[in-house]
Amino acid sequence: SNSSRRKTFEEEYGRAFDEAACAFLSTPPQKDSDPDADLMDTGAVVRTISERGVPAPLHNGADALIGPLSEELRPGDVALVMSNGGFGNLHERLLERLADGSGETQGAV
């Protein structure tokens, strides 16, 4: 959402993934109407998450994120995809990548 991309949430996002095994993040799209000073520094969030002991690779959109994420997931893992939009249809594309020949999902999403 517009408010969740604001600088005021940087600290909270940095701590929010403390219990995660890994956090895959993507840079949010920038709109022409976005004032640069108010936008979250995604790099700073990733650095904070990493400093707190959780691997946090940063990707530029769903297309860049889906390959590394699907390679990282194992049976029994849980993936939480948070987006206020379609995010390049990541949800469906990830399920398709995780599906085996019988159509059953190997990982939980």
Query: DSSP labels for 30-83?
Result: PPTT--GGGB--HHHHHHHHHHTT----EESSHHHHHHHHHHH--TT-B-----
Q: What pLDDT is stored for residue 108 in this prediction?
A: 47
Q: What pLDDT is stored for residue 19 in this prediction?
A: 94
Reported as a pLDDT band with limits 50, 70 and 90, residue 100 is: low
Q: Given 3-state DSSP classes, what are the helix, strand and coil percentages for the chain, each rounded to the nearest 5?
A: 45, 10, 45
Tokens of 27: 């840079």
Q: What pLDDT is stored for residue 66 in this prediction?
A: 92
Selection from 28, 37, 41 nearest residue 2 by Cα: 28
Average pLDDT estimate for 45-64: 94
Reported as a pLDDT band with limits 50, 70 and 90, residue 44 is: very high
Average pLDDT estimate for 38-46: 89
What does pTM read for this prediction? 0.77
Selection from 74, 90, 100 nearest residue 21 by Cα: 74
